[in-house]
Amino acid sequence: MDDLAGQDSGINHGKIPEKNYCENLPNDIGQTEEKQNPAVQHWPVIEHKFIKKEKFLIYKPNNKIEVNVYMADITTLTGVQVITCSDDRSGNGHGAIASTLWKTGKSKYESIKKKAFQKDAIHFGDIIITEGGDSNFQQVVHAVLPSFKETISSQKHKEMVHKCYDRILDEINKLQKTSLALPLLGAGCGELGYEGSVKLFLDSLEVFCNRTTTLNLKVIHIVDTDEHITQRTANEFIKHVERVRNHLLSTQGRELKPSLDPSSHTSSVRPQKEISQVRPKNAMPGEKSKEGCSICLAEMKSAKTLSCGHTVCIKCVEKQFRTKQGCPKCGAVHGIIYGDQPEGGKMNIFLQKQSLAGFDKTDTLIIEYQIPAGTQGPNHPKPGKRHSGIFRTAYLPDTREGRKVCDLLRVAFDRRLIFKFGRSSWGEDSLVWNDIFHKTEPFGKYGYPDPGYLKRVQEQLAAKGVTETDLVQGTPV
């Protein structure tokens, strides 16, 4: 682990008062006409309202938080605690929102912002949180993103916007704020566009809702002064709900069964000499085995045994091993399993001088996975179709067992087993986790403490054929 380097959290706070503010939203903002019963409600939900003759869309991913989409000047909103604006790394952003806040926040906000941006290393994808000065807002979140003048790849730009959305939701919730005004980040720069920015936001919101145990954030306002942009934004929310509902309807009533298949699609395998031809003990040459095959249940004419000791028909096992390298009886893995994770990805590991909950006085291993956008290959669900990239972060304790798990994850990544194609908020055939659970937060529901996690993840890795033996013997990847 000598080559591990420290990593900045990417989140900087200006001076934040300890006082707990009370929210006072206008009566016609964020309120539904009738309360829904969570017990019978099917989430997510889209509602349409008309306020002051303007269209107003409400999106509810669950019964605890809602997103309001409507046309307005974001800088003039009242009763909203936090506003977000895009900014550059020096804090001299000249966008409409940043410029207006600079004027309305006056000298108090100016001095706070200048001080907050004095940090030496501020990177794209970071967020800087300050007080709002004399503006309408208690806090201002500055999302540090490249301007249209800066040359940057569309994939990198997308990752930065995605990271900003993730951090904004997490940090505002930690500050116990209940309302947030948010423009569509990165929509006016590069190839992302408004629809792309909405998809990134929805993906971040889905992850945020799933992993956050206490949702302090209740209302998110996504507003724009342009009617056409507002309508496009609302349409993207409606499409998202339709995708989710169609998926739920298509899977309704299906029985979920455990599978040894390392992904939802065909995997490639490199067979090892794990199979040997056998006959029942005391059988005469040419005698058939009277034992039934574990796969077809018929009497075996040409029997083979796996290294785990179970016997199957030679034709059955050869057919099964083309897609699933596991014994049909005990599930033991035979050979090396390869998944359909796209090639060309990166797995970077960093060492952070902070402890995870439950691992006091222990440093933290931070794993960053990055898969670039590309085209699906012949072993993917839709060959030739373009797919988006993905950026994910995971945390492990820097202990002996934590380092072992990290090494096992490296083997799994090299065998293309960490991600697979599945359904996400981006739609079908997106890159998703491949049933190897990762701690994507240092604490909380999807983080620590979790005393049994390191053992469980090793069991999940073993189900895909990745074990400590691979580290000791240097099994090829």
465 pLDDT above the threshold of 80 = yes
Q: Which domains does the chain have, with CATH numbers?
A: 11-249 (3.40.220.10), 273-334 (3.30.40.10), 346-473 (3.30.390.130)
Write out the two tokens for 8.
Answer: 């900045």
Per-residue pLDDT band at 399 (split at 50, 70, 90): very high
Which pLDDT score, from 0 to 100, does residue 73 have?
92
Does position 249 have pLDDT exceeding 70, yes or no? no
**Other CB atoms within 10 A of residue 36 CB:** 14
Q: Please write the tens of the pLDDT for every residue from 330-341.
A: 666 666 788 889
Residue 423 or 237, more confident? 237
Structure confidence at residue 118 (pLDDT)? 84
Q: What is the pLDDT of residues 174-198, one digit of tens each?
A: 999 999 999 999 887 767 788 889 9
Does pLDDT of 378 surpass 90?
A: no
pLDDT-based confidence at residue 231 (cuts at 50, 70, 90): confident
Question: Of 68-82, 138-152, 212-226, 298-312, which range is least confident?
Answer: 298-312
pTM of the model: 0.49
Task: Inform me whether the pLDDT recorded for 255 exceeds 80.
Answer: no
Q: What is the pLDDT of residue 180?
A: 96
Token readout for 362 is 């222990």
Classify burial at 376, counting beta carbons within 10 Å of its beta carbon; exposed 0-12, middle 13-18, buried 19 or more. middle
Task: Look at residue 169 in the predicted model and tell me its pLDDT.
Answer: 95
Q: Token pair of 216, please? A: 């302090």
Percent of all residues in the chain with a pLDDT value above 70, rounded to a whole number: 66
User: Can you give the pLDDT at residue 147?
Assistant: 76
Q: What is the pLDDT of residue 166?
A: 92
pLDDT at site 469: 85
pLDDT at res. 187: 84
pLDDT tens digits for 258-294? 333 333 333 333 333 332 333 333 433 334 445 566 5
